[in-house]
Structure 1
Amino acid sequence: MTQLPAIVMVQLAIVATSASVTGVLLGIRQVGWLQPLELASYDLMVRLRPDQEVDPRLLLVTITEADIKAQKRWPLSDLTIATALKNLQQQQPSVIGLDLYRDLPQEPGTAALVKQLQQSNVIAITKVPDADDIGVKPPPSVPNERVGFNDIASDPDGVIRRGLLFVDTDATTLYAFSLRLAIAHLKQQDITPQAGRDANHLRLGAAEFIPLEATTGAYQTVDAGGYQILLNYRARHKLARQVTLTQVLNGAIDPSWVKGKIVLIGTTARSAKDLFLTPYSAAEPQNPLMPGVVIHAQLVSQLLSAASNEISLFEYWADWVEMLWLGVWVLIGASLAWFVRHPLGLALAMLTTMTTLLATCYTLFLHQLWVPVALPVVGVLTVVMLVVSYRAQRAQRQQMMMMKLLGQNTSPEIATALWQSRDRLLKAGKLPGQRLTATMLFTDIRNFSVLSEQLPPEDLLEWLNEYLSAITEEVKANQGIINKFTGDGLLAVFGVPMNRRTPIEVSQDACLAVECALAMGDRLDQLNQDWQTRNQPLAQMRVGIFTGPIVAGSLGGKERLEYAVIGDSVNIASRLESYEKHRQTETCRILIAQETLVHLQNKFVVEPWGLLALKGKQQMVDVYRVLGRARASKD
């Protein structure tokens, strides 16, 4: 079977990971675990958006603590309420909504209040019966068509984000207080309730009110009973003009504030305990609660604005669109996490992505479209963490493979270069074979067998490790790689596994190899001096160096791999090291071939040995002995 290209494999992995994360998050979302985050993001967007202008169609008559103290009683007397209604009626309001329970007489003035409640533009309140059929009855003098319930639907966290318009009981369908006020006002403009495109939906003017379901928008576990819509708050504080009850009783208000307006009368006093949490509450530590009458006014304003096509109602995406929305952002996050490798680059890319995501959600919100915010944010963060974790684990495995193949006998520069190019070098857990031009360096200790007889095995091992440690340091210092140890010697390679393509690079490798051999000789002189003081055997070494083509890569099977260099160039370097072992007077004999000499750029002093027939080679090899560094190299 043909193996897929690496980039295709990466793309498939990204898609598979993104699909898995998307599926898991959709499942988590369905059980409601992300709902608190979504609602919190909704509240934040409500707070961030600018307030609408004061609604000129409304007037709020608030009953404050000062009003209660002035009347010296609570509940207020029927006479007080009747007087307020009478004074307001004289200013020709469109409709008056009384957000006060009046199911029981509060003498004095009950007769006067009954008279005022009989006015055709007065809306009274009731309460939806509970499971035990216990509710608050409306005033007996008010017909059902002028009665609305003032129940407020709260979310699981106690915040008011929904408006309740209808509730079905066994006997009838109850209208909300806010809806009654809006209908009464719109009727004067010849706008009456109609059936929408769906016969079960309410239409007022230009707006069709589509009821919320349990899974509408970011909701997943909300009680969507009755007929509810998302409450679109108009403003945090200045929703409409406000006056106090005392001002109304004293006739101290401008008639133009009342004429043709919807007037809502309700309490804002803390002692009345008609206060609720709203999306604004988190930013209002001093006064976090909103009075019920103001919430009703918010819903009335929303109904009027939607009916007149001033402010559209909130819309929501279908489930499949939200799934696609999540999937796209998760895919973006996975792609960034895979292809942006630098931590700072990934952090900047993530910052840009998150900023774009949040800005897009907020912009859509300003245009009355509520889309999931927390869901894609969690999706992006989750997939990025997964991909980064996988990459880290994969990198660790690759690093272990590289160290297993190449050992730890490389210079820091080579190790860094190898690791930065690991994706190109490593393939299916192996270093693929590649043809390179490199310089091989073989070393061996002269007469090691004789030396072995002079020391016990334990002392011999310690002596040999001391020697190998010293020459290994020189290989690493000169950017070589120790390919393998051969008992008392080693094979070092200069120019692998990074492909050295240019003549300058090949020349650098050859010079480093010869410099390394000279440095090995210097280190051996130091070791001999130390060994002499410790009455240990002295040593001489031979070095063979050859520059030429090789093939480098992994050699072996799944259970055992090693990094191997193969080719005739390796054999020639080995033969140079072992050639005529008796021809040595110096501590370190270094033989090179013409193929290495041409790259040395006269940096070293050499002695020609002529064309020699090396063991196992049919062709003659032009051999030179390295005597030392040229003077020019010291200047």
Structure 2
Amino acid sequence: MTLGVRNVGLKYFLEGFAGGESLYQSVRQARERLQGLEDRFPCATWLPVICQNPAQIPPTWDELRSVKTEEIPNLPLPTKRRFRTTLLSSLAITVLVCGVRLVGLLENPEIQAYDLMMRSRPATGLDPRLLVITIDDDDLAIQRKNDESLAGASLSEKSLNKVLAKLNQYQPRAIGLDIYRDFKAKDPDLITRLQKTQNLIGVCKGSDGSVNIPGNSPPPEIPPGNLGFSDFIHDRDGVVRRHLLFMNQEATSLCPARYSFSLQLASLYLRPLGIQTKFTPKGNLQLGKIIFPNLNSRTGGYQNIDANGGQILLKYRSSKQIAEQVKLTQFLSSPLDSGAIKDRIVLIGVTAKGDSPDTWPTPYGIPLDEQMPGVLVHAHMISQILSAVQDGQPLLQVWSLWAEVVWIWGWSLVGGVLAWRRLSLPWLALATGVTSGVLYGVCFGLFISGAWVPFVPSALSLVAMVGLMSIYNSKTEARVGSERNEGNEGD
């Protein structure tokens, strides 16, 4: 019965309040009209109660009806609809970004981000397992002055014979001669030394009939089992970012070597440790417990590359200075500490910047004066193999396609969450920039740990989602506000 009395009291109150009476007067009139129910419902007039701050002027019925929607700031959209819209929008943006990525439009910016992360890694220092004997422009000038038979070669037979003889005294584990010698030696002593130096690896270059590259023959004196090809795989911009470990030579190739120069030297170094070169059933190279998975035509940021042979991503040793270096002239004229050579891999190569320098663009520099000599690129490759096998350093690998798609989608959802906050434009731009920085930091951390994950597509989906949802929120709120204003005018 009390509920019925309350409804009657509310009816009386609304009739008076809507009729223009003040709030207090409407309550008073409702209580007076309930006096007729006192005989059946004692204290019925006590039911209408008002609690009001005496200092506050009570509103009128017309004032309550004229409240405008703009007086309620940041009117939220229904959460369920917002969630559905954000989810569908993030999926659409992810599909669009992944589609653009698959056709190769993001390959260049992804490669640039890759180079930036490669250069930004903390330095790891010199590799103590390597020593590089360099032949610079001064060494060439000295050789030509002392040996007129040098002609166009970079290392005379006399100097080569002296280098090998001195190296053998200090017992290096492997010697790599990164100099093309596709002609027979004339010095009988050098011929014998080349033939009997079992830890010496020579180089040759494979042919490529598609671009009319004939290649280079190996030194005739070095046994076929001690040869490695010197071919590099470079990207469309000429930069060496991949490491070719092995390949099948063309039938007409002048170079018979199946394994790379770097792999041959690394295998020779690891052999006394009982680590042999073998292949998995999937055709991947395996050294000890470490498997070197071959790249596919679509790997990470790469789209439709030539993935023939055994290729991996080249993980440079965090700096240009890969190992201790000594000039040829200094090596031949100065006494050496036996510990500087014993059980090391010694590389011999040209670093001269003459008319036809053997230099290559790398993530550390593309202009000619910043390019890296080929012998040092080989040193980085050797160090990568040994660091993975001996030091447990992770190889650079990529996630599966679906894992990358989920990763990109996740960052588009993060962009949707930022747009939910309804920040002002300057604050939204700042939040987006900070979040993009966090994204780069996460990608860089994963890169150091051995995973190349998509940064550019993720950042693109993040920014696109923030922009799209911000526009959608603005238009939706404007439409809702317009509809409410029209409703108030109709009343």
How far apart in 2 are the matches of 1:25 and 1:113?
60
In 2 relative to 1, CA 286–229 (structure 1 residues): closer, same or farther, beyond 3 Å? closer
For 1:90, what is the secondary structure of its paired residue? Answer: helix
Equivalent residue number for residue 162 of structure 2: 83
The CA distance in 2 between the partners of 1:337 and 1:65, in whole Å, is 60
Please say if 1:94 is aligned against 2:94.
no
Tell me which residue corresponds to 2:308: 225
Provide the residue aligned with 2:111 in structure 1: 39
| 1:128 maps to amino acid | G
Partner of 2:276: 192
Secondary structure of the corresponding residue to residue 216 of structure 1: coil
Give the Å deviation of 1:254.
2.4
Query: Using the alignment, how far apart are the partners of 1:299 and 1:89 within structure 2?
Result: 24
* Aligned residue number for residue 66 of structure 1: 138
**Out of 385, 398, 419, which is 1:337 matched to?**
419
Matched, 1:149 2:220: no
Q: Which residues of 2 match residues 228-243 of structure 1 at below 5 A?
A: 228-243=311-326
Identity %: 37
1:338 deviates by 3.9
State how far apart, in whole Å, the 1-side matches of 2:324 and 2:157 are: 25
1:169 & 1:366 partners in 2: Cα distance? 34
CA distance in 2, matches of 1:82, 1:102: 14
What displacement does 1:393 show? 4.7
User: 1:250-271: per-residue Cα shift (whole Å, max 9, x none)?
Assistant: 2443222111110000001111
Give me the CA root mean square deviation.
2.1
2:92 corresponding residue in structure 1:
20
1:354 aligned residue (436, 445, 452): 436
Deviates more, 1:289-298 or 1:244-253: 244-253
Distance in 1 between residues matched to 2:306 and 2:357, nearest whole Å: 24
- Number of the residue aligned with 2:35: none
- TM-score normalised by L of structure 1: 0.60
Task: Within 5 Å, give how 1:156-167 maps onto structure 2.
Answer: 156-167=236-247
Corresponding residue SS for 1:372 = coil
| Residues 286/260 of structure 1: CA separation in 2 closer, same or farther (3 Å cut) | same
| Greater RCO (CA < 8 Å, at least 6 residues apart) | 2
1:103–1:137 Cα contact (<8 Å) kept: yes
- What is the CA–CA distance in structure 1 between the aligned matches of 2:214 and 2:490, rounded to whole Å? 89
1:126 to 182, 189, 204: 204
Which amino acid counterpart does residue 397 of structure 2 have in structure 1?
A: E
Aligned equivalent of 1:554: 487
CA distance change for structure 1 residues 156 and 69 in 2, over 3 Å: closer, same or farther? same
8 Å CA contact retained: 2:224, 2:257: no
Aligned to 1:564: 490
Paired AA for residue 387 in structure 1: M
Residue matched to 2:298:
215
The corresponding residue for 1:458 is none
Give the counterpart of 1:6 among 78, 86, 105.
78
User: Gaps (5+ residues) in structure 2?
Assistant: 1-76, 145-149
Q: Is the 8 A contact 1:207 1:313 kept in 2?
A: no
Distance 1:217 1:309 in 2: 25
Given the alignment of the two structures, is residue 111 of structure 1 paired with residue 111 of structure 2, yes or no? Answer: no
Residue among 461, 465, 480 paired with 1:379: 461
Larger Cα-atom Rg:
1
Quote the offset at 1:95 in angstroms: 0.8
TM-score scaled by length of structure 2: 0.77
How big is each residue's C-alpha offset from its partner over 1:520-547, in whole Å with a ceiling of 9 and x where there is no partner? xxxxxxxxxxxxxxxxxxxxxxxxxxxx
Shift, 1:315, TM fit = 2.4
Within 1, Cα distance between the matches of 2:471 and 2:183? 68
For 2:236 and 2:250, how far apart are their aligned partners in 1? 26
Query: By percentage of residues, which structure has more strand?
Result: 1
Task: Supply the distance in 2 between the matched residues of 1:324 and 1:292 (Cα, whole angstroms).
Answer: 39
> Retained in 1: the 8 A contact 2:207–2:250?
no
Secondary structure, in 3 states, of the residue corresponding to 2:467? helix
Name the aligned partner's letter for residue 295 of structure 2.
L
Residue 270 (str. 1) matches residue 348 (str. 2): no
Cα distance change of structure 1 residues 195 and 174 upon mapping to structure 2, 3 Å threshold: closer
Q: Deviations over 1:35-81 (max 9, x none)?
A: 11111111111111112121111000000111011112541322221
**2:381 corresponds to which letter in structure 1?**
L
Q: Distance in 2 between matches of 1:430 and 1:234?
A: 63
Q: How far, CA to CA, are the matches of 2:189 and 2:447 in structure 1? A: 48
SS at match of 1:188: helix
Higher helix share: 2
The answer to whether the 8 A contact 1:79-1:112 is kept is: no
Q: 1:165 Cα deviation (Å)?
A: 0.6
Residue aligned with 1:96, SS: strand
